[in-house]
Amino acid sequence: MLPEKKEKTHRYSELRQDIVSGEWVLIATGRAKRPDQYASRSRQKPASETHCPFEGPRINDKEPILWYPHPESNAKDNFDDWFVQVVENLYPAVTPHEKKTCAIAKQDGLYNTMSGIGYHELIITRPHERSLGEMTPQEAALVVRSYRERYMALGDDECVAYILVFHNHGHEAGASISHPHSQLVALPIVPPDVQRSFHGSAMFYKKFKTCIHCQIIHWERKQKSRIVYENDTFLVITPYAPHGSFELRIYPKEHASHFKYIPEESIEQLGDALSKALGMLHRTLKDPAYNFFIHTTPENEENTDHYHWHFELLPKISTPAGLELGTGLDVIAVAPEQVPGLLNDTI
């Protein structure tokens, strides 16, 4: 169990360790600026709707894999009124094997190699310039529901080892198309960042017989210094050892290992938490570029009681330089304890 120790505030720079991954970060508040100074001054102008490849009923002239009308729509069966649709990525990072053969690692001389077999899909929302942080909780819940449905469908493929949903917002965050959309990639391997997180939680469980993320939730709710928002089902915090200033994480309060098993009654609550968290970043940081993704249990894992799925939201408000690249340390200019006050001023 985590020690019941009262936390202190710090005037000076401080090194903090992520309790799950073991990675260190440097909290260097001497570099801090006002929140509005983190706003991008060179925001790339969104492409016009006329030239946007995500406009029109059928993206890439193909039938969608999945679609939903707007939650307030009266035309539930009219595809022309879609609000969310899932389509195959026209430029995929991985592709399905024609013969349904699984990828197998093999030697290439000194090295190992594997075919890039998998699935790459786009989850697109209808409004051309309205991001998730500007949507209602009901609209955001539709996006969450589409994530869950695709996790459920692709998780049955025995060749899939891990499914990642991620969202790039803004050119600085890697969004090549400005129209809001998320992506799903189903991989034949478990990626290294997930492996570190999964291994760290497993080691903690082996030692203390409890979920590390549940302990984090208990500790943060007791301390109250890093809670940004919460509703009946979800907690939004800024982590003790973040990867970047204003990083946020969304946890289900009740222990759950697999995102894909989120119950229907919790989807609206997650839509609320996600839209609130992104909305606060949008207003405080003047529509920053950001990435978010879901970390969940790998497919076909048998021992999963130790893991707790969650969202990680990472605004792109600084560029790694020599200190970060030369040491591997993330340097954080805004102390996590300052973030809730800065963000809640915008509600």
- Which active-site residues does the annotation give? 181
Residues 6+ apart with CB under 8 A from 121: 65, 86, 87, 88, 89, 150, 183, 184
**Cα–Cα distance, 280 to 228 (Å, whole number):** 9
Stretch (H or E) spanning 266: helix 264-284
Give the CA angle between residues 165, 167, 172 to the nearest 5°: 145
**Residues 133-171: b if buried by 16+ CB within 10 A, e if exposed:** bbbebebbbbbbbbbbbbbebbbebebbbbbbbebbbbb
Which residue, 11, 17, 15, 16, is CA-closest to 30? 11
Strand order in the sheet with 330-332: 14-17, 24-27, 330-332
- Distance between terminal CA atoms of the chain? 34
**Cα–Cα distance, 143 to 275 (Å, whole number):** 11
Question: What is residue 306's DSSP assignment?
Answer: T
Q: In the chain, how long is the greatest CA-to-CA distance?
A: 61
**Cα–Cα distance, 158 to 301 (Å, whole number):** 12
